[in-house]
Amino acid sequence: MRTDPSSARRPRRLRKVLGIVACVTALVAVTACNGTENGGSADSGGSGTIKVGFINQTAGSVGTYPEVQAAFEATVQYINEELDGVGGKKIELDSCAVDGTPTSSQRCAQQMVTNKPAFVFLGNDYNSGVTYPILDGAGLMVIGEVPLSLPDFNAPNVAFFNSGTAGSGPVIPAYLKLHPTQNKSFGALVSQNPAALAAATLLEVPLEQAGYSFQQTAVSPTATDYSSSLLSINPAQLGGLTGILASNGCVAFANAYGQQNLNTPVIANQTCYAPDVLAAAGENMVGWKVTQLTADPMGETEDAVLYRKIMSTYAKGTEPGAGQAALAFSTVMTTYNNILKPMGSSEVTSKAVKDALAGPAKTGKVALGGNYECGGTVAALPTVCGWGIYMYEIGPGPDFAQQVIPDQVDPIDVSATVAEAFPNGLPS
């Protein structure tokens, strides 16, 4: 495996980041020792309401996700106003914003412990390893929007309906197994944040098992020019490229790709398929393949139509194609359809949600997705319930619409790829 100097240092840096998270976790976990198994109660938001916690990263310099906040709030408003809430009770979101620092994650987790929601929705939190022990100590169940870093995949009382970074990386070798290329070399630009560094590990191992060499270079999450970083991995000589980046990094990657007149195939993740990225660099991305954790939100399925209706009605300032907005909708509606709606007028508690995921809601249908099954389909990642990932191709401007790939219409199940690559657990 060819590796540039920054790549060679990456495993040590990943261990350091996780070690810092573990140390902070040990210091703050004691704050939540007096929790109960049930967490908050169904009427914890007041008479006729169900208080649900919501934590999301909307500040800081390492990645912000305001579209996730907008889509969560819009979908909850739809449930309250058009579906009469849950058993006649309205959902009240108890929101807290993190900024990519352990201190803010600790603060938000402690807010949840103090306010005692029935359970907690987690959007993006790059320091969830700090958050989980506090919430678990208070008996609070977490349903996450997308798993990003290593703690997301192993924490107790946590569930995700998609595979997040654990699938976004391995879907590339899974796709290449189905559609092999002659050039067996692959390169990546990797943002210097814990989630991206962890995702790079989850890509590297299965890619090499599939017979591909892999090289990567680390890039600053705040830089605006990736030209030299891209040149350092000799992109014209590679069989494929990807970027494990936030949306601003996707723009820098696409611009560098265009400036160097490359035609090396690119498989980007869903973060790069966002209106702001396409507006800034879409002309350089035509023909790129893009992985998605949901089906096309601009498609004509029942879920896609509902999603666009919700966003146009309750989140008018957010484009339906923005970032992870569709994934946020998927998380809320999957929780409602499979867990909350069947509870009817029963009390909604963290224990009730946990019991549902181990019982009647252990399997179900993902909104804007396929089927899911909780309970450790991949033993090394017990929090992940859904493993299907979609693949599209970016079409020409001006709209740069996602186009169906004729020989890859169905989602790719990456569970076998992940299980084979990490039979003894995830690297640390």
Alpha helices in 302-408 (DSSP H): 302-314, 325-335, 341-343, 350-358
Element (H, E) at 45: none
pLDDT for res 286 = 98
One-letter amino acid for residue 173 of the chain? P
Question: Which domains, ranges and CATH numbers included, belong to the chain?
Answer: 5-13+167-292+388-421 (3.40.50.2300), 35-163+300-373 (3.40.50.2300)
Q: Which has the closest alpha carbon to 409: 394, 395, 391? A: 391
Structural tokens at position 405: 């790939």
Q: Which has the closest alpha carbon to 86: 129, 136, 52? A: 52
pLDDT for res 30 = 34
326 within 8 A of 297, measured Cβ to Cβ: yes
pLDDT for res 43 = 53
Query: Cα separation of 315 and 354, whole Å?
Result: 30
Task: Please give the sequence-ordered ranges of beta strands (E in DSSP) within 58-157, or none if there are none.
Answer: 90-98, 120-122, 142-144
pLDDT for res 1 = 41
Per residue of the chain (428 residues), give pLDDT as tens.
444 433 333 333 333 333 333 333 333 333 333 444 566 655 555 568 999 999 999 988 777 899 999 999 999 999 999 999 999 999 999 999 999 999 999 999 999 999 999 999 999 999 999 999 999 999 999 999 999 888 999 999 999 999 988 888 899 999 999 999 999 999 999 999 877 887 888 899 999 999 999 999 999 999 999 999 999 999 999 999 999 998 889 999 999 999 999 999 999 988 898 888 999 999 999 999 999 999 999 999 999 999 999 999 999 999 888 889 999 999 999 999 999 999 999 999 999 999 999 999 999 999 999 999 998 889 888 999 999 999 999 999 999 999 999 888 889 999 999 999 988 777 76
pLDDT for res 47 = 61
pLDDT for res 52 = 99
Q: Distance of alpha carbon 69 from its chain centroid, rounded? A: 14
Phi-psi region of 347 (alpha: psi -120 to 50; beta: other; left: phi over 0): beta
Query: Cα separation of 15 and 4, whole Å?
Result: 19
Residue for token pair 């909780």: 374
One-letter amino acid for residue 23 of the chain? C
